[in-house]
Amino acid sequence: AQSVTQLDSQVPVFEEAPVELRCNYSSSVSVYLFWYVQYPNQGLQLLLKYLSGSTLVESINGFEAEFNKSQTSFHLRKPSVHISDTAEYFCAVTNAGGTSYGKLTFGQGTILTVHP
């Protein structure tokens, strides 16, 4: 069985401040890791993913996440947030092998609110 814990349910920050959204996971097998974002009144969009290779992965809009196997973490960071980053962020994992690639286990979500 797998589980994902997002340690903060809500994170308020001011515009241009740095932010870190924390994610820890538990799994007995190797995993792939994802961050999804849900903007208001929209579906979930993939922000970034770790499948293999470099443990630091980046998104096109300035977010990055680092896979830390020893600490079973996949924290999401951005050095300077914008108002438009206000959204709910979900960390998710899936088995790295087998046929269950799309069977995601999600964390509880973190609502990021960026204030002017």
Partner 1 sequence: EAGVTQFPSHSVIEKGQTVTLRCDPISGHDNLYWYRRVMGKEIKFLLHFVKESKQDESGMPNNRFLAERTGGTYSTLKVQPAELEDSGVYFCASRITRGSPLHFGNGTRLTVT
Give contact residues for partner 1 (rule: CB under 8 A). Answer: 4, 34, 36, 41-46, 49, 51, 90, 99-109
Q: Which is nearer to partner 1, 14 or 39 (CB)?
A: 39
Q: How far is the CB of 61 from partner 1 (least distance, A)?
A: 16
Q: Which is nearer to partner 1, 64 or 109 (CB)?
A: 109
Q: How far is the CB of 44 from partner 1 (least distance, A)?
A: 4
Q: How far is the CB of 105 from partner 1 (least distance, A)?
A: 7
Q: Which is nearer to partner 1, 47 or 81 (CB)?
A: 47
CA distances from 7 to 15, 96, 100, 109 (A): 22, 24, 26, 9
Beta-bridge mates of residue 32: 94
Helix or strand holding residue 24 (H, E)? strand 23-26
**Integer Cα distance of 45 and 4 in angstroms:** 18
Q: How far is the CB of 81 from partner 1 (least distance, A)?
A: 23
Phi, psi of 49 (to 5 degrees): -145, 150
**Integer Cα distance of 79 and 17 in angstroms:** 7
Q: Which is nearer to partner 1, 17 or 51 (CB)?
A: 51
